[in-house]
């Protein structure tokens, strides 16, 4: 049996831009993507701490060390600059893998800089 398990999350990222006219996706500082072991075009789940909205989209690379978190396309209706987000990625795992696995958790501080990796 395979289970869907949290693989990684970026916690308390702040939206820096939104663009309703963009085709879609979430732009993320590539340094944050790497810290969370996330990849461009990977499916992510986004949980808006500020307003309770939730949506699924995919990642695109933002400029390294820019702190950019950009919500694009239709998702721009669900998050605006200044909103706080949790960005999560999930993977299928066997029961044996689940028993020992611990997700990568990236805690974000001011200006969307990495505060701690757990």
Residues classed as catalytic: 25, 58
Residues contacting residue 9 through CB under 8 Å, at least 6 positions apart: 36, 86, 87, 88, 89, 103, 104, 105, 106
Strands 69-72 and 17-19 turn out to be parallel
Structure tokens at 65: 């060390």
Distances (CA, A) of 116 to 28, 78, 87: 17, 27, 15
Distances (CA, A) of 111 to 2, 22, 73: 37, 23, 23
């Amino acid at each position: 049996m395979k289970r869907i398990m949290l693989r990684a999350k970026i916690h308390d990222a702040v939206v820096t831009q939104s663009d309703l006219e963009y085709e879609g996706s979430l732009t993320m500082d590539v340094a944050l993507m790497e810290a969370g072991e996330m990849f461009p075009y990977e499916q992510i789940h986004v949980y808006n701490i500020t307003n309770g909205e939730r949506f699924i989209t995919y990642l695109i690379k933002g400029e390294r060390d820019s702190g950019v978190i950009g919500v694009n396309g239709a998702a721009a209706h669900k998050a605006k600059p200044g909103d706080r987000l949790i960005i999560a990625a999930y993977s299928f795992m066997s029961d044996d893998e689940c028993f020992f696995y611990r997700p990568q958790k990236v805690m974000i501080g001011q200006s969307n800089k990495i505060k701690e990796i757990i």
